[in-house]
Amino acid sequence: MNLKRTPLYQEHIDLGARMVEFAGWTMPIQYSTLKEEHLSVRNNAGMFDVSHMGEIFIEGKDAEKFVDYLVTNDVTGLVPYQICYTPMCNYEGGVVDDILVYKFYHNKILLVVNASNTEKDYEWILKNSGGFNVEIRNESDSYTQIALQGPKAQEILNEISGVDLHNIKYYHFEKGPVDGIECIVSRTGYTGEDGFELYLKNGSSVYLWRKLLEVGKFMGIKPAGLGCRDTLRFEAALCLYGNELSDNISPLEAGLKWTMKSDKNFIGKSSLLKQNEEGLPYRLRGIELLEKGIARHGSEVLDENGENIGWISTGYLSPTLQKSIALGFLKPGYRKIGTEIVVAVRNKKIKAKIIKTPFYKGSVKR
């Protein structure tokens, strides 16, 4: 199968990026080193090409009503140009995808979805649209998405933004020109830092990418790859679909109960209410390793007698904190902060304990 390339592919090659396959795309994993890019986002700013993400537009008289039925969070309550993060569940309460809902008006909504799930989501949305007066368009292939993240993101974007960034609150967006190029500009991100995500039609992408690197230079902006995107979101304890969320993991288990509004109807509601009442088989927790070693996705978690009590969903030596930490799903009885557990990393048993999340709070302005 041919890997898909974003409109910025040649820019990455010219910047010397190491490219990897991700969800059918060839994407930059790092340009310099993961740690340098990670710390650049924490301390100054980093710029990511995330054009592999999907953009699905829902338009029509019932757009708002339909999306509200598709997702667990409240869409009708959003004001125009507000965004919400939300799981989109299946009937069993598992997660089809975790997405951003951009509400323009009640009759126009943009869903930003994971690259790995774009086709699955589109099919799912189409399949459940019966009876709703909506038009569903997958426009993923015509949009470039650039994420500008870090405490200096606003200062940098402000150099060329025709949109007043001060007026964009956390999880809100505006439409307007950035250096003359029409963009959707939202104060959102996946790093724990303040920052923006820009959506623009392919064609001007290379120009804007270069321009942002140029104007951001004196504030230490760096192109940043998928490698640090994962370590950054991990330190902020943000879920990654495929690790912390899947068709078989419920939002309740992943700690996303805050995104579930039970005063409305949505797909998966009865399953989730039932699970909430009966208790969660597993629950996501933060874990710190107390001995040398790094827990990895899929490592087994044990109690002191060697009984299986869960699994690790993501684990790293945290670049910011320089601690070996992990996110993992645990059975009841092992979820309190301070509880000692054991992580099996290959043939070694490593002592660990439950700690609170997020592991790190960045400059994000809630």
Q: Enumerate binding residues for other proteins (CB under 8 A).
A: 29-30, 33-35, 227, 231, 292-294, 296, 316-317, 319, 324, 345-346, 348
**CB closer to other proteins, 2 vs 347:** 347
Closest contact distance (angstroms) between CB of 304 and other proteins is 22
Q: Whose Cβ is closer to other proteins: residue 238's or residue 289's?
A: 289
205 vs 314, beta carbon nearer other proteins: 314
- Comparing CB distances to other proteins, the nearer of 350 and 364 is 350
Closest to other proteins by CB, 10 vs 33, is 33
Which of 190/199 has CB closer to other proteins?
190
The arrangement of strands across the sheet holding 54-59 comes to 82-89, 95-105, 108-113, 54-59, 135-138
Partners of 112 in beta bridges: 55, 100
The end-to-end CA distance of the chain, in Å, is 42
Closest separation between CB of residue 348 and other proteins, Å?
Answer: 7
Q: Which residues contact 119 (CB under 8 A, 6 or more apart)?
A: none
Q: Are 147 and 190 in contact (CB under 8 A)?
A: yes
- The strand pair at 108-113 and 54-59 is best described as antiparallel
Minimum CB separation from other proteins for residue 231, in Å?
6
**Shortest Cβ distance from residue 255 to other proteins (Å)?**
24
Alpha carbon distance 36, 30 (integer Å): 10
Q: How far apart are CA 285 and CA 335, in angstroms?
A: 7
197 three-state secondary structure: strand
Q: How far is the CB of 347 from other proteins (least distance, A)?
A: 9
CB of 111 to other proteins, least distance (A): 29
- List the beta bridge partners of residue 99: 86
Strand partners, 176: 183
Q: How far is the CB of 296 from other proteins (least distance, A)?
A: 6
Residues 146 and 139 sit within 8 Å (Cβ to Cβ): no
Residue 50's closest CA among 128, 114, 146, 121? Answer: 146
Instruction: Select 33 or 308, whichever has its Cβ closest to other proteins.
Output: 33
Place of tokens 């299946």: 90
The residues near 304 (Cβ < 8 Å, ≥ 6 apart) are 340, 342
Contacts of 349 (CB under 8 A, 6+ apart): 302, 306, 342, 343
Residue 29 Cβ vs other proteins, minimum distance, rounded to whole Å: 7
CB closer to other proteins, 22 vs 81: 22
Q: How far is the CB of 36 from other proteins (least distance, A)?
A: 9
Shortest distance in whole angstroms from residue 43 CB to other proteins = 17
Q: Are 181 and 207 in contact (CB under 8 A)?
A: yes
Distance CA 52, CA 38 (A): 20
Tokens 């979820």, located at residue:
335
**Could you tell me which residues are beta bridge partners of residue 104?**
none
Cβ distance to other proteins smaller for residue 136 or 294: 294
Nearer to other proteins, 40 or 154 (CB): 40
Other C-beta atoms closer than 10 Å to the C-beta of 49 total 24
